[in-house]
């Protein structure tokens, strides 16, 4: 009884939303009525009712799918989804189930229209009957399952990416936070995918070895030995500590490669300006947090204009070499300093680091120089200068590791040495990468 009452309320909500938007649209077209305080009727209604814009869109999508259609002579054609309209308007279907049906049937009809030899009208009618039956048997959960099965059956190699299909699917769809990560899905056309693949595959390129290969037919024996070992200051050979070996999955490497390519674009100074500023990540952080002097249980101020609150350790890392604009605040929130470009290594300095290090300086790493970032040995946030003697090349993986662990880098006679924490080596013997110079005298 209560469930049926909620269905009837949902029916009223759909009709009310439809009537409000229709009236506001007519008034806007004729110049009559009150001026909306929001950008469009949907936002106005959401603000007035205190619900989300997504909820208003859900109600309007159901109204659109169930409204009576007219032909060119003004004669009624009935609802586009007559079975759904009949069940919903009789109070036997939830708003969630109805909106799911309207959305998924629209997708299926678009795919069918873009597929040679498939009748879009027959697809719509057959799927509608199946989903109404699923709702009667198992409610909204079964509706979602059956709809997914229909879409999977329509996903064939004969589908052509028409303009309507792209409008329905193409793009980056951000789905929120999941498992502590930002989650989403994407649909790209072939041209977009080719660019994305080219920008992301560097990190996962099998020719860029991040651990020693054991296949003698594809890897020189000396290279294998150099990739699996490192040297101390006396030239003695040591095995690369396990913690320094790249343990990322292929998916993680692809993500890192894509971000690296986007970052390179942001730093190219060739992207369109926005409000007089070229694209960059802007963050606000208080001085004590930036310098790492805030205890773990204390509150900190660390905020990104793009993401909102962020972990300050991330800001300390990207402040090292990324094109961010750090705005340093005092305890009262007043601006103490706005980061200047000179904290970044210049192009000339990077060329010298490339020539000196040849690649990632982490012991055993095989990522070449063009896949590396310039790292401040003494962190910029701690007053470290942007000089060759305070710089070392590190790949993305080891850059993150050196910021998040107790590994340190020391420069001795122009050679970067990685000093392990006592938990790894009680003697803390400094180690250097000799992969790129394994054919030379130490």
Mind listing the pLDDT tens digit for each residue in 28-81?
667 665 665 666 788 888 887 888 888 888 888 888 888 877 677 777 777 888
Q: Are residues 54 and 137 in the same domain?
A: yes
Distance of CA 425 to the CA centre of its chain: 37
User: The tokens 């229909």 sit on which residue?
Assistant: 150
pLDDT at residue 84 tops 70? yes
Domain end position, chosen among 158, 181, 212: 158
pLDDT at 309: 57
Q: Are residues 45 and 132 in the same domain?
A: yes
In a domain, 228, yes or no: no
Domain end position, chosen among 110, 131, 158: 158
Q: pLDDT tens across 391-406, in order?
A: 999 988 898 888 888 8
Q: Are residues 310 and 428 in the same domain?
A: no
Q: Are residues 322 and 416 in the same domain?
A: no
User: The tokens 């509706």 sit on which residue?
Assistant: 143
Identify the band that residue 132 occupies on the pLDDT scale cut at 50, 70 and 90.
Answer: very high
In a domain, 226, yes or no: no
Domain containing 45 equals 1-158
Find out whether 319 and 339 touch, Cβ atoms under 8 Å.
yes
Copy the structure tokens of residue 432. Answer: 């250097």
Domain end position, chosen among 300, 317, 340: 340
Q: Are residues 26 and 153 in the same domain?
A: yes
pLDDT at 250: 86
Across 71-75, 91-95, 283-287, the highest mean pLDDT is recorded for 91-95
Copy the structure tokens of residue 254. Answer: 């692809």
Q: Are residues 23 and 124 in the same domain?
A: yes
pLDDT at 435: 85
pLDDT at 417: 94
Residues 6+ apart with CB under 8 A from 15: 63
Partnered with residue 408 across adjacent β-strands are: 419
In a domain, 195, yes or no: no
Mean of the per-residue pLDDT values for the chain?
77
Higher-confidence residue of 19 and 227: namely 19
Q: pLDDT tens across 317-357, in order?
A: 555 555 544 554 555 444 444 444 456 788 888 888 888 88
pLDDT at 315: 60
- Least confident piece of the model among 67-71, 76-80, 106-110, 424-428: 67-71
Q: Are residues 61 and 138 in the same domain?
A: yes
In a domain, 194, yes or no: no
Across 2-11, 59-68, 132-141, the highest mean pLDDT is recorded for 132-141
In a domain, 213, yes or no: no
Copy the structure tokens of residue 279. Answer: 């694209």
Q: Are residues 315 and 404 in the same domain?
A: no
Overall domain count for the chain: 3
Q: Are residues 28 and 137 in the same domain?
A: yes
């Amino acid at each position: 009884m209560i469930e049926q009452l909620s269905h009837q309320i949902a029916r009223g909500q759909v009709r009310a939303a439809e009537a409000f938007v229709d009236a506001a649209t007519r008034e806007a077209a004729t110049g009559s009525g009150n001026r909306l305080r929001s950008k469009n009727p949907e936002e106005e209604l959401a603000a007035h009712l205190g619900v989300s814009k997504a909820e208003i869109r859900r109600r309007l999508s159901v109204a659109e799918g169930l409204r009576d259609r007219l032909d060119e002579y003004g004669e009624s054609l009935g609802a586009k989804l007559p079975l759904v309209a009949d069940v919903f308007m009789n109070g036997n279907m939830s708003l969630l189930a109805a909106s799911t049906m309207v959305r998924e049937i629209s997708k299926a009809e678009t795919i069918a229209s873009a597929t040679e030899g498939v009748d879009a009208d027959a697809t719509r009618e057959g799927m509608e009957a199946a989903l109404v039956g699923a709702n009667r048997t198992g409610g909204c959960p079964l509706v979602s399952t059956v709809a997914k099965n229909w879409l999977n059956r329509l996903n064939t190699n004969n589908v052509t990416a028409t303009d309507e299909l792209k409008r329905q699917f193409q793009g980056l769809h951000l789905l929120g936070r999941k498992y502590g990560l930002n989650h989403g899905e994407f649909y790209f056309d072939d041209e977009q995918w080719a660019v994305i693949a080219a920008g992301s595959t560097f990190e996962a390129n099998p020719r860029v070895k991040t651990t020693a290969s054991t296949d003698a037919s594809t890897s020189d024996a000396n290279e294998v030995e150099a990739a699996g070992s490192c040297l101390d200051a006396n030239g003695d050979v040591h095995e690369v500590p396990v913690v320094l070996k790249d343990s990322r999955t292929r998916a993680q490497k692809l993500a890192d490669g894509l971000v690296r390519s986007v970052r390179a674009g942001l730093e190219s100074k060739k992207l369109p300006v926005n409000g007089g500023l070229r694209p960059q990540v802007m963050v606000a952080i208080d001085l004590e947090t930036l310098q790492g002097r805030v205890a773990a249980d204390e509150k900190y101020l660390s905020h990104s204009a793009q993401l909102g609150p962020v972990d300050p350790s991330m800001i300390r890392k990207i402040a090292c070499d990324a094109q961010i604009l750090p705005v340093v605040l005092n305890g009262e929130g007043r601006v103490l300093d706005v980061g200047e470009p000179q904290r970044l290594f210049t192009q000339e300095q990077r060329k010298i680091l490339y020539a000196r290090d040849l690649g990632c300086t982490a012991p055993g790493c095989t990522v070449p120089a063009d896949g590396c970032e310039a790292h401040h040995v003494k962190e910029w946030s701690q007053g470290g200068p942007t000089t060759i003697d305070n710089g070392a090349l590190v790949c993305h993986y080891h850059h993150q590791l050196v910021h998040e662990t107790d590994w340190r880098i020391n420069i001795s006679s122009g050679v970067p040495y990685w000093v392990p924490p006592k938990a790894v080596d009680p003697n803390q013997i400094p180690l250097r990468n000799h992969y790129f110079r394994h054919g030379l005298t130490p």
